[in-house]
Structure 1
Amino acid sequence: MERPCGVGGGSGTIRAFFASLCPLSAGSFPVGARPRRVRRPSRSASLFGKPARENRRGPSRLGNRPGGRGPRAQCQSAVGADRPVARLAPRRNSPDAPTRPQLGEGATVINAHRPRLRFAQHFLVARGVIEAIAGLVRPAAGEVVVEIGPGRGALTEVLLAGVDRLVAVEIDRDLVALLRTRQDEHKLRLIEGDILQVDLGEVLRDAGGCRLLIVGNLPYNITAPLIFHLLAHADCISRAIVMVQREVARRLVASPGSKDYSLLSVLVAMRAEVEMRLQVERDCFRPVPAVDSSVVELRFAPKPRYAVQDVDCFDRLVRRAFGQRRKMLRNSLLGLNPEGGRPWLEALGQQAGIELTRRPEELSLAEFIRLSDACSHLGKDRP
């Protein structure tokens, strides 16, 4: 059998044959010479001061060295030659970085605000729920509406359409700056600060009204302290229509003996009537929280709803009892008068007509009032 022309039996003849088919190889590597192998740098080489690996989005650092690879574009195949090359995003402080939206862009800017976890921000986006909450407000003559945490202003806009004046308290300074761009100075007053540090009595005096009507989506991380803050200003608040976690809403309306009956249940019942208004699912918020929510209405009384000899004594006794809610009252209330000890506790139970082997979650509001009055009568009400 005849062999192809120029192809012999030796390895040199075979190498010469293939070199004639590839002029580039023939010009670069003489016949009989082994081509030099260029070692490619490792990925971690740049970490130790060595040449970095080729950047896939730009020319290689090895392109200008003898024997190195050229720019990426020269090695691009014909199939992907017309495809756009991906680019890295510009650095945050570079001149090419996109600028932040200006305040005057209104609603688009507010909707672009990223929620801050430290403020427990979950913005209500369901239009039907927003309108339902606004429909519950209905301020009476002389009432000043105060919105806690207006956020992006979704509820604020609806409230402004139905009230003569609105006070909004917001802790996020970025949202305050954005809300000022849509502020009507005749109807809306913005207060930047922590609602727990705001004197609601002073807000009422500045507004020139008779009572405050509180509304808002309460931050989940301060719900209980905020409700206690409202109780401390119950003399200047008529109603509060607030969104809270469903667990907190159950505690607000819980009855004695239930698992949700707590310190919050007793102290709120002393100053306000509570009614469940709306059930709100978690997917009505952005970002979506881990719990469902409820809208409750609290109708405050200027004075305690039930007669009690000493309001401060009542507050201390209830807090101490629920501080150890799984213990019997004879143990949890022992700290009220350590010097009197067990004999003093027996006298307290006898005067109040309450068996102290019961637990605090079993006592009604009226029974706590009897215990408080008996404690005040014995003269040892200090923890």
Structure 2
Amino acid sequence: MTAPQTLLKAWNMKPKKDMGQNFLTDPSTPIMILERAGIHDGCGQTIIEVGPGLGAMTIPAAQRADHVHAVELDREIIPLLETEIHVAGLRNITIHSGSILKVDLEPMLAEGRNTLVIGNLPYNISSQILIRLLSFRHRITRGVFMLQTEMAERIVAPPGGRDYGRLSVIMQYCGAIHLLATVKAHLFYPRPKVDSAIIEVLFPEKPSLQAKNEKILFDVVRAAFGQRRKTLRNSLSSGLRELNTKEAETLLLNADIDPIRRAETLSVAEFVRLADLFYDSIQ
């Protein structure tokens, strides 16, 4: 693995701050991530990589998987990436130019549930990327993502704390989440201000929790956390046009939830129960 500074200088390029570009400098880190994620030689999986950059993760992933679809937003960096892939002698990588938020993922998904998504997600749009990928989770076995530590802590946070929020509930509803490793800031170029964390999200074929209507569930979660300092009775009546304060209180009592509790105190299972009752009430 050639040092990012050397590669970029040779191509007369600089990291783009607006794209959140921070490149791994330690060749052992991508290997560690792949091993902890269970991506081994001959794993037989199709991998979709978000933001391959200079190929630090792309190349070792392709050496283990059947095929890697690398989605890269920065058009200027793609020729450099193609050269690195050519030098590595790999033919099982397809580069897709565009944003992961807009590119058509359907042609990249393997038959059945044999697709894995990996990526070092830029902080400013990481939650948007995760939400979009969740809509494909029935075709994806799992995701392995590098995030700023703050974002990872929000995703894995249990109920009751300040970190627990809308993203925590949605992610934990959709999959089982595990913290795989931390990656220190000095292992990137340019060096970010904070460390990163690697999380794995397993998407079960048969989820233990299944809402009657997921759109309604996500609407309820959004409304509950929309004004998180308010009681659930008030936040739900403010955020859901179908409910006034009295109706919100009745709904919460029927779900065996105290109306004066706040959103961050509810478990994922309680949100599902509440959303199911709300769905029934508006049919």
Q: Shift of the alpha carbon at 1:278?
A: 0.6
Match of residue 30 from structure 2: 130
Task: Decide whether aligned partners of structure 1 residues 120 and 340 sit closer, same or farther in structure 2, where only a CA change above 3 A counts.
Answer: closer
Shift of 1:202: 2.7
With normalisation by structure 1, the TM-score equals 0.66
Query: SS of 2:78's equivalent?
Result: helix
* Cα pair distance change 1:211/1:331, threshold 3 Å: same
Query: Which amino acid in structure 1 is aligned with residue 51 of structure 2?
Result: G
Alignment partner of 1:192 is 2:64: no
Q: Please give the per-residue CA displacement for 1:61-109, whole angstroms capped at 9, x wherever unaligned.
A: xxxxxxxxxxxxxxxxxxxxxxxxxxxxxxxxxxxxxxxxxxxxxx954
SS at match of 1:243: strand
Name the larger-Rg structure: 1
Rounded Cα–Cα distance in structure 1 between residues aligned with 2:15 and 2:26: 17
1:71 aligned residue:
none
* Alignment partner of 1:310 is 2:210: no
- Which amino acid in the other structure matches residue 79 of structure 2? A
- Of the candidates 48, 53, 58, which is equivalent to residue 151 of structure 1? 53
Q: CA deviation at 1:303?
A: 5.8
- Tell me the amino acid that sits aligned with residue 164 of structure 1: D
Distance 1:227 1:117 in 2: 21
Alignment match of 2:70 (pick from 168, 187, 200) = 168
The Cα shift of 1:137 comes to: 4.4
- Equivalent pairs counted in the alignment come to 273
1:300 alignment partner in structure 2: 203
- Which secondary structure state, in structure 1, belongs to the residue aligned with residue 53 of structure 2? coil
The CA distance in 1 between the partners of 2:38 and 2:71, in whole Å, is 17
Matched, 1:362 2:281: no
Give distance in 1, aligned partners of 2:174 and 2:9.
Answer: 38
Shift of 1:126: 1.7
Determine the C-alpha separation between the residues in 2 that align with 1:208 and 1:331.
Answer: 46
1:272 paired residue among 146, 161, 175: 175
SS at match of 1:333: helix
Map 1:1-383 onto structure 2 (within 5 A).
109-110=7-8, 112=10, 113-135=13-35, 136-138=37-39, 142-181=44-83, 182-183=85-86, 186-204=91-109, 210-302=113-205, 304-335=207-238, 338=241, 341-379=244-282
Greater Cα offset, 123-132 or 290-299: 123-132
Identity %: 37
Structure 2 counterpart of 1:306, one-letter code: L
Structure 2: which amino acid aligns with 1:154?
A
d(CA) in 1 for partners of 2:9, 2:113 = 35
Residues 24 and 189 of structure 2 are in contact (CA less than 8 Å); yes or no, is this contact kept in structure 1?
yes
Aligned-pair CA distance for 1:157: 2.2
Amino acid of the residue matched to residue 243 of structure 1? M
State the shift of 1:304 in Å: 4.7
What's the secondary structure of 1:267's corresponding residue? helix
Alpha-carbon distance, 1:343 to partner: 2.5
User: What letter is aligned with 2:196?
Assistant: S
Residue type of the alignment partner of 1:363: L
Which amino acid in the other structure matches residue 103 of structure 2? V
Q: Secondary structure at the match of 1:375?
A: helix
Q: Shift of the alpha carbon at 1:340? A: 5.1
Which one has more relative contact order, counting CA pairs under 8 Å at least 6 apart? 2
Name the TM-score, length of structure 2 as normaliser.
Answer: 0.88
Structure 1 residue runs of 5 or longer lacking an equivalent are 1-106
Q: Is the 8 A contact 1:124 1:154 kept in 2?
A: yes
Distance in 2 of aligned mates of 1:296 and 1:312: 25
CA distance in 1, matches of 2:16, 2:150: 23
